[in-house]
Amino acid sequence: QELSYENSKEYTIADIKVVGNTSFSEQTIITFSKLKKGDEILIPGEEISNAIKKLWKTNLFSDIEVYISKTEGDAAYLEIRLSDLPTLNELKIVGVKKGKQEALIKENKLQEGVKITENLITTTKNYIQNKNRKAGFLNTKVNINTIPVVDSLDNAKVNMVLTVDRGEKVKIDEINFEGNTVLSDKKLRKAMKNTKQKNIIRILKRSKYIEANFKEDLVSVIDKYKENGYRDARIISDTLIKKNAKTISLNIKVEEGDKYTFGDIEFIGNTVYTDDYLRRKLRIEKGDTYNGVLLEKRIADNTSPDADDITNLYQDHGYLFSTINPVEVSADENVIDMEIRISEGKPTYFNKISVVGNEKTNDHVIYREIRTRPGELYSKSNVVRTVRELSQLGFFDAEQIDPQFKNANPDEGTIDIEYGVVESGSSQIELQGGYGGGGFIGTLGLSFNNFSLKDIFKKDAYRPIPTGDGQKLALRLQASRFYQTYSFQFTEPWMGGKKPVQFSTSLSHTKQFLYDATTGNADKDRRFNITGLTLGLAKRLSVPDDYFTLSQALSFQHYDLKNYNTGLFTFGDGSSNNLAYTIGLSRNNTFNDPVFPTGGSNFSITAKLSLPYSLFNGTDYEALAEERDANEALYADTTNDSDVRAAASNRISEIDQERFKWLEFYKIKFKGDWYTKLVDKFVFKSSLELGYLGAYNQDRGVIPFERFFLGGDGLGTYSLDGREAIALRGYPNQALSDNDGGTIFNKFSLELRYPITLKQSAKIYALGFLEGGASYNSFKDYNPFNLKRSAGLGVRIFMPAFGLLGIDFGHGFDPLPGGTVKNGWETHFIIGQQF
């Protein structure tokens, strides 16, 4: 019976019945429908349609209908008719690779037993179509067939056959433009970043048609026009024409409109900066081609947080609450007059500066490094720099330093900052056993990077060691059969807590025994001791900029030889003293993470000098040099009597003992690293390292100490004689210098790094390198182009408890000194040191 809504009538539900092919109980369905026996409802009316909707929503039924089977006065007898949706029995997929079927089933939830709804079929179809289109299969056809299973049970089951025909990969044969006169087709095609014509040469960006990308690219085309002053340009139409199964062409019709130029640009509301100054920042002149994109960028560049734009100009000088709005005031005759409306707001000052999360480090260590101070004008760049410098302390997780702005108060012009930090383990314990230098080497190293000296007598502070004052304390013991080294170092970064003057001191003692060829053991009677003491001061400078550090150090080493004859020293008994002054200037503005810098540079130049003893000690070194030469000649002449030769040899020793009693030398070194962020997370590091060791008095000669040893991993196994191991991968350790070491070296290195993970627990990055270097004995031999070259790959792992570990595989392309074949592959293990 036909009922219209106008004459709907109130009934009481007398009874509800469920009919149809369903496996659900009558009661369940009635409950779902929210209709209840005894309810008074309007028929026709909302309740009935809601009931149908509710049942549909369950996604379990199809063909849902509600009828009145009969009425008795005000009592209505309802009947719900429905049938269960078929469930999926078996799925067959045709045209999709085995490996990809599972993902497809999972993504679309096509497991056995799922209810087959229209919606499911449509979404599955769309999913497959979109996925393939994105891969360039524009003509993908998807067909889904369901076949009811002939089954004895009531609930219907269906088998599904999913056929996918991807067809050929469709490429864009050509992109045609119509209506363009000022910009060529080629230029416009170039503006389209993701939709490209097919081209065999282009490998990285394949030609394919993806609708979403195409729409984006159309916007880029318009942007291109806008950049050139055509701000009315628009796309009138775009058409896709299927040429054949494999190719399509795209026709784009544009309307260019008129070219606009900038007219008068007025600044309104600026009191801090003059119009002139702002205009220079804007770098847009009257008469310039109108370019909305550029204008936006010069006012507020959203792509880079520290861009050189007007917003940052205000932000960096305290105007945190400033807003800048460019407004077009007139566009007569295609000349656009602009007003740049500036609301400067009050200058904002930092009010409260606080730090939270410093569970180990004491406040004073952190606050002194913070560049945003109470009462100071707000500066965004100082916040950025503080974050960078706090991370460089090495006490906190660099990724988690979080400056939170609080209590921003535009009326008072104040803002608080709370720096959130997370402590990271900054102490290292090194316990190492290794095989090298002809025997077992054991190392015990303790290095505490955030030590507290004043707390060492406080029992409570030991958890497990006193920390929190930012001091560094390192102890190191190393021993093998042939040598022992003990060293102690202490560094206080702010001497007296008043000025950033770093005080450091180190003490070391080394004992070296001669190798006894007959027993293969250490000969304890023949030894070489070195005792050293160094005191250093390093001051952070504020001129030329405050990334500079000036350091000075006074060092003293005492060498004591007892019957220790090797090629290195021409005297076996005696002593040498090395009193030197080192001055160095360094600049480090590498950012973020000290383990994995992503930008900035780090360089240092140092000079280490001894006193020019030969100027005032009255020794005639020229005569000594001559006498030495004469004795050398005597010794070298094997026809001479053995007594004469022995006397000559003794005299040489005596002369050398005289020459090296107090070491006289100067040494100059330069080291620079530059970090550049490339695409993605790649970081490019280039470095340059140079060194020169010279003598004031040529007759006295260049000392056999303090020399450079190039090659290998650069790990100094022991600094026997002030020697410096310079890494050059792809060659054995120290193999590229003479036995006595070089006096000049240079090294160039290029490294490409990629971070695999930069988590706090472990930072891992991979690297590839190209490097070259050489060491020479005098300027006569020096040739910066005659390098030992190498290339290779490696990986580094930094864990807070272990420091940096790594392995490099380097291939040396050049022969070792004296060799003729290239050196080939070398494996280097890196511990605690960076290249």
Give how many residues touch other proteins by CB under 8 A.
24
- Binding to other proteins by residue 364, rule CB under 8 A? yes
- Binding to other proteins by residue 351, rule CB under 8 A? yes
Cα gap 726→746, rounded to integer Å: 10
CA dihedral 355, 356, 361, 362 (to 10 degrees): 60
Which C-beta is closer to other proteins: that of 354 or that of 531?
A: 354
Which C-beta is closer to other proteins: that of 501 or that of 568?
A: 501
Minimum CB separation of residue 450 from other proteins in Å reads 12
From the list 484, 660, 476, the residue with the least C-alpha distance to 557 is: 660
Which C-beta is closer to other proteins: that of 546 or that of 740?
A: 546
Out of 81, 279, 368, 476, the only residue in the binding site for other proteins (CB under 8 A) is 368
> In angstroms, what CA-CA distances link 758 with 456, 511, 596, 697, 765?
34, 41, 8, 52, 8
What type of residue sits at position 525? D
Cα-based angle 342, 345, 347 (whole degrees, multiple of 5) = 120
Which C-beta is closer to other proteins: that of 370 or that of 474?
A: 370
What type of residue sits at position 166? R
Cα gap 542→718, rounded to integer Å: 37
Pair of tokens at residue 785: 């182009």
Cα gap 487→475, rounded to integer Å: 6
- Binding to other proteins by residue 363, rule CB under 8 A? yes
Reduced DSSP (H G I as helix, E B as strand, rest coil) percent helix, strand, coil of the chain, to 5: 20, 45, 35
Out of 17, 70, 106, 352, the only residue in the binding site for other proteins (CB under 8 A) is 352
Which C-beta is closer to other proteins: that of 407 or that of 827?
A: 407
Minimum CB separation of residue 424 from other proteins in Å reads 14
- Binding to other proteins by residue 357, rule CB under 8 A? yes
Which C-beta is closer to other proteins: that of 368 or that of 822?
A: 368
Which C-beta is closer to other proteins: that of 386 or that of 478?
A: 386
In the range 646-665, which residues lie near other proteins by CB under 8 A? Answer: none
Site string for other proteins, 549-578 (x = CB under 8 A): ------------------------------
What DSSP string runs through 138-198?
A: TT-EEEEEEEE---SSSS-EEEEEEEEE--SPPEEEEEEEES-SSS-HHHHHHH-SS----
Counting Cα atoms < 13 Å in the Cβ hemisphere of 369 gives 25
- Binding to other proteins by residue 358, rule CB under 8 A? yes
Which C-beta is closer to other proteins: that of 497 or that of 784?
A: 497
Out of 136, 413, 468, 470, the only residue in the binding site for other proteins (CB under 8 A) is 468
Single out the segment in contact with other proteins by CB under 8 A; choices: 17-25, 191-199, 366-374, 648-656.
Answer: 366-374
- Binding to other proteins by residue 412, rule CB under 8 A? no
Cα gap 692→668, rounded to integer Å: 5
Which C-beta is closer to other proteins: that of 14 or that of 541?
A: 541
Minimum CB separation of residue 391 from other proteins in Å reads 18
- Binding to other proteins by residue 376, rule CB under 8 A? yes
Q: How far apart are the first and last CA of the chain?
A: 90
Place of tokens 């260019």: 256
Single out the segment in contact with other proteins by CB under 8 A; choices: 142-150, 281-289, 348-356, 698-706.
Answer: 348-356
Minimum CB separation of residue 544 from other proteins in Å reads 21
Which C-beta is closer to other proteins: that of 349 or that of 486?
A: 349
- Binding to other proteins by residue 671, rule CB under 8 A? no
| Whether the Cβ atoms of residue 755 and residue 765 lie closer than 8 Å to each other | yes
From the list 672, 690, 659, 666, the residue with the least C-alpha distance to 776 is: 690
Out of 153, 498, 518, 519, the only residue in the binding site for other proteins (CB under 8 A) is 498
Minimum CB separation of residue 402 from other proteins in Å reads 14
| Whether the Cβ atoms of residue 705 and residue 813 lie closer than 8 Å to each other | no
Pair of tokens at residue 768: 């590839």
Minimum CB separation of residue 768 from other proteins in Å reads 42
Burial class of 597 by CB neighbour count within 10 A (0 to 12, 13 to 18, 19+)? buried
| Whether the Cβ atoms of residue 760 and residue 424 lie closer than 8 Å to each other | yes
Strand partners, 592: 597
Which C-beta is closer to other proteins: that of 48 or that of 365?
A: 365
- Binding to other proteins by residue 374, rule CB under 8 A? yes
| Whether the Cβ atoms of residue 162 and residue 120 lie closer than 8 Å to each other | no
Cα-based angle 782, 786, 788 (whole degrees, multiple of 5) = 115
State the sign of the Cα–Cα–Cα–Cα dihedral 635, 638, 639, 643: positive
Which C-beta is closer to other proteins: that of 283 or that of 499?
A: 499
- Binding to other proteins by residue 499, rule CB under 8 A? yes
Cα gap 299→306, rounded to integer Å: 13
- Binding to other proteins by residue 497, rule CB under 8 A? yes
- Binding to other proteins by residue 373, rule CB under 8 A? yes
Out of 133, 157, 196, 360, the only residue in the binding site for other proteins (CB under 8 A) is 360
Which C-beta is closer to other proteins: that of 460 or that of 641?
A: 460
Out of 359, 402, 516, 525, the only residue in the binding site for other proteins (CB under 8 A) is 359
Minimum CB separation of residue 496 from other proteins in Å reads 9
Which C-beta is closer to other proteins: that of 492 or that of 751?
A: 492
Single out the segment in contact with other proteins by CB under 8 A; choices: 219-227, 361-369, 783-791, 826-834.
Answer: 361-369
Out of 362, 549, 565, 697, the only residue in the binding site for other proteins (CB under 8 A) is 362
Contact positions vs other proteins (CB under 8 A): 349, 351-353, 355-364, 367-368, 373-376, 468, 497-499
